[in-house]
Amino acid sequence: MPNPVDKLKIKNTFIPKAALVAQTAEAAAAVPIRNKQDQMIAIWDFPFLIGRESRLEISKNGELLVKERFKHSFVNNKTNDLYLVDFGKKLQISREHLLIEQTDDGRYYILDRGSKCGSEANGTRIGSGTEVERTEIKDGDTIILGTPSSPYRYIFVVLTEEDDQKA
């Protein structure tokens, strides 16, 4: 008799826990090709670390070339789970910018990781000279990486079985 299939384990392996949905063309363009899925970034596990891709080069034609990082190893030595490409002349995204965490009671927070420009979640500024280093976020909240005028804006979406409505 075959072993029983653990459908919950399979589902939890393939369905992300949350997502970030790009709200601007710049935010969508910042997402590395290997993470892109209709301008959405899947979050499979927490904490989820976000930072700037620093492996960029200028071509002979003056074009920006991205050398993406592929972190697939058995040793967890990554700096970020997501490396965004910051195309701005004034950088908005730090190499180690922020992290999104889920607490044991099911709440979500963003924490600044020493970023130069800080971040914002629904009007609350964190990091970069503020006294706030952590703020709670909820399903449907907007997260801005960088200054308030930064184009790197994403909506945080929690994916749960009971949450089938739009954020």
Average pLDDT over residues 46-68: 69
In contact, 43 and 16? CB cutoff 8 Å: yes
Tell me, yes or no, if the pTM score tops 0.95: no
Query: In order of start, what are the domains of the chain with their CATH numbers?
Result: 15-158 (2.60.200.20)
In contact, 11 and 161? CB cutoff 8 Å: no
Q: In the structure encoding, which two tokens stand for residue 110, read together?
A: 């963003």
Chain segment 105-153, per-residue pLDDT in tens: 999 999 999 999 999 998 899 999 899 999 999 999 999 999 999 999 9
Say what the alpha-carbon torsion angle 143, 136, 82, 35 is, to the nearest 10 degrees. -70
Q: What's the pLDDT score for residue 164? A: 47
3-state secondary structure of 96: coil
Judged by phi (left if over 0) then psi (alpha if -120 to 50, else beta), residue 82 lies in beta
